[in-house]
Each structure stands twice: as C-alpha cells, then as structure tokens.
A = this chain, B = another copy of it.
Amino acid sequence: MKLKDDKKVIQIFQSALKLVAKKGLSGVTMGDISREAGIATGTLYVYFKSKDELINALFAACRENSVKVSFKGYNPQAPFKPGFRNIWLNILRYKLQNFEETVFLEQCYHSPFITVDTREKAQQLSAPFYELMERGKKEQLIKNADTGLLLTFMIGTMNELVKQTHYGSITLNRTKINVTFDLCWDALKS
C-alpha cells in the first residue's frame, strides 16, 4: 500500500514558492506547480483539496518556519544586545536565503487566498518577537516606545533591504550588513 508522502508536500511547496517568486501569485497555476514538482495535476488534489488550501497551507508553513529559524541560538539568559543581534542576523539570513518565501509571504498579504483564520494564526506566531522587544525595553536598552512600532521598524527595514538586494540596486557584504545593523540599533536603542 502506498502511503501519503511527506516529501511530496515539500516538493509541492518548493515548486509553488519558486514559481510565485518568478511569476507572482497571479499567473501561477495548479498546472504549473504540478509540472514543476514533477507530478500529475490530479495528485495535487490528493494533498490539497483546492488551490486555496494549498496556498494557505504554504503560507502557514512559511510563517512557522521563519519564526523557528529566527530564534535559533537565542538564549534569554545571555546579555541582550548580542542576542538581539543574533536574531536580527538570523532573520536577515533567512530572508536572503529564502527569498522565495519572503516574496510569497508578501504577495499573500493582500491576496484573496489567505483566510482570516490563517491570518490570525500567523499573527499569534509573532508573540516571541514582542517578548524580545519588551525585554529590551525592560533592560532600558531599547527606547520606551510602542512595541509594535519598534518591531515594525525592525522588520520593515529588512524586508526592503532584502528586496533591494535581490533586485540588484544594493549588493550586500559583511561590512554593509554591519552598517545596517548599526543603523537599526541606533534607531531602537534608548
């Protein structure tokens, strides 16, 4: 008896990501995805009962993955700034190396595919980031401003940075990354 294959889901996700990054969420068809994944179109429907569901599942997976990666190596007992820097670098590295996911998440933001439910679950995943920023504020290293605002600042700059990098108007190197972190830290530090 053949069993549903977890690898296949990953294949499908990767194909979808690749295509969305290349052609945008519009213009990616189920046929494209199956062709890219090397399976029959009908097989997609064994794993996801509609295009909608596929996109939502992928969205959820990307969000989860991105949060998990961000906190890799983070130790809440260690001093704040190096820990913060580590997370900052994790995020940047993640966004650069998984550019397709970054694009996909952004494209989903205003798409009719993502349901309210999926959106809410994604929001809940942000909790650790809020906690991080609160800790910085408590230790008086970070400005005492609205936490959401501070996070927005931190994330927004990265998104734009990654986008510009990818499209060639900026080329990143170790130095520039350091400069960028300093810009960010200067903004947030109290």
Q: Which residues of A contact B (CB under 8 A)?
A: 20-27, 103, 106-107, 109-113, 123, 143, 145-146, 148-150, 152-153, 155-161, 163-164, 169-170, 176, 179-180, 183-184, 186-189
Task: Please state if B183 and A143 are interface contacts (CB–CB under 8 Å).
Answer: yes
| Chain B nearest Cβ from A96, distance in angstroms | 14
Which B-chain residue is minimally distant from A104 (CB atoms)?
Answer: B110
Which B-chain residue is minimally distant from A179 (CB atoms)?
Answer: B145
Task: Please state if B20 and A183 are interface contacts (CB–CB under 8 Å).
Answer: no
A163 to B115, CA, bound (A): 17
6 other A-B residue contacts (CB within 8 Å) besides A24-B107, A152-B157 = A22-B110, A27-B111, A106-B109, A152-B161, A153-B184, A184-B187
